[in-house]
Amino acid sequence: MNKVRIILLLIATVIFVTLYKYSLNYMRSDNVKTVTDPIPKTILYWNAYWSEKDFEIGFGAEPFRTCKYKHCFVTNYKTFKPIDEFDAIIFHTPTYNPRRDGKPSRRNERQVYIFHNMETPVTNTVNFKNFNSFYNWSMTYRLGSDIINRYGEFIEEKSNYTLPSVQVIEKKTKLVAWFVSNCKTPSKREKLVEEMKKYLPVDIYGKCGTFKCQRRKGDNKCYEMLEQKYKFYLSFENSFCNDYLTEKLYNVLKKNVVPIVYGAGNYSLSAPPHSVINVVDFDTVKQLTDYLKHLDKNVTAYLKYFEWKKKFKVVKQNRACGICKKLHEPLKNSVYDDLKSWYWGKKGEICKTELMIMEK
């Protein structure tokens, strides 16, 4: 009996020692992890992005979960910590009113103020007078921004995509569609459409036309109708400004419809190869419409505009990732002393307001 007790005691001792060592090692490894983990960069939304308090990015750590650089945290609570302890403060400049929204009461030299704007100079006037030497970084659609924000992007990703059949294309009984609510624009796109209508039919949906399709935010119904009935869509920007591209392009690229683009974006960088028809590649409107008629009659040539889908995929850009990545780079002294010159160009060259194609 004594032998059994001794054996049981030895077994219990071995188990206890093993568990103690495991517990000790676990606590040590946990402490090391706590010490070596990067301290999260904290970001404050100073004012709302239009009506969106979360900037359409999100709150907390969740927006950064899938990013390469994950250690960031974002809030719009100005009392979350002392104002001068935030690593970055983002201002949505089109709606920022210092009298209403106030200005940060304190600022430290390692803190960055970010100028955020997704609108063009010709569609959104910004008061620059009191903001020279105020902002450290820009966060816009411009390729020269410190943080580049895009409405979409394309990535290389092989898929099992198969081209639509000839029968499917032949069921597209209409040629060109356009969803639009802004009827008079700096780019004069509406004038271009009127010229196009002299040579072929263009179905205009919304406030500026006679066709109707009720669209709600997040509703894909109109784009499904577009894909079923039409071969082409007018992805015409309201402003002809450097690098400016909007969801008008990326929403259509996801469908089996060919976008006809008119804007000053770099489409060779911003769209997959041979995926769009660029208005400025033609000398006249008639040349453009003749080419569309050619594609309408030649299914093989038309289908070549979808070959890119076998190798690439259009995705929505995760804007949170660019912010967190930039904040984890070595901090350099940076300030916009003359914000107006950067925004408009020193000679106002960033945007053009004349029609960029011959009408005849």
Name the residues annotated as catalytic: 119
The answer to whether 285 and 260 have CB atoms below 8 angstroms apart is no
CB 258 within 8 A of CB 276: yes
DSSP three-state, residue 176: strand
Dump strand ranges (E) for the chain. Answer: 41-45, 72-75, 88-92, 112-117, 137-140, 147-148, 153-156, 174-179, 202-205, 230-236, 240-241, 258-262, 277-278, 312-315, 351-352
Contact 231, 260 (CB under 8 A): no
Measured distance between the N- and C-terminal CA atoms of the chain, rounded to whole angstroms: 110
List beta partners, residue 173: none
Contact 259, 233 (CB under 8 A): yes
CB within 8 A of 104, min separation 6: which ones?
A: 46, 83, 84, 89, 113
User: Is the distance from CB of 207 to CB of 178 less than 8 angstroms?
Assistant: no
Pick from 238, 228, 271, 237: which is nearest to 253 by CA? Answer: 271
